Amino acid sequence: MILWLPPYRAVDAVGVGGVSGDHIHLFIQYPPKYSVSFIAKRLKGRTSRILRQEFPELKKWCEKSLWAPSCYHESVGHGWEIVEKYIAVQDRKS
């Protein structure tokens, strides 16, 4: 899956899983010139816009913001397989 954040370069979603009522696990690869907070802000903004267009009732449910202002992130140099397995297990827990 490729998440495009124009006019920025593509962000490659290596793994998505563990979707639950209050969070989602994303395993992404991105150009090092962007900070994690920059990418999180763009992802949250873009997905909020798309979801509110697709589901207008969300505007009533959450008038000010769809996503929480916080996020947890961790970087991985080696050991991608471990992260992918972790996400897969989280998906089964949901």
* Strand (E) or helix (H) holding 70: none
Q: Which residues of 64-94 are buried (b: 16+ CB within 10 A; e: fewer)?
A: eebeeeeeeeeeeeeeeeeeeeebeebeeee
Q: Is 34 a catalytic residue?
A: no
Considering 8, 30, 72, 86, which one is annotated as catalytic?
86
Catalytic residues: 86
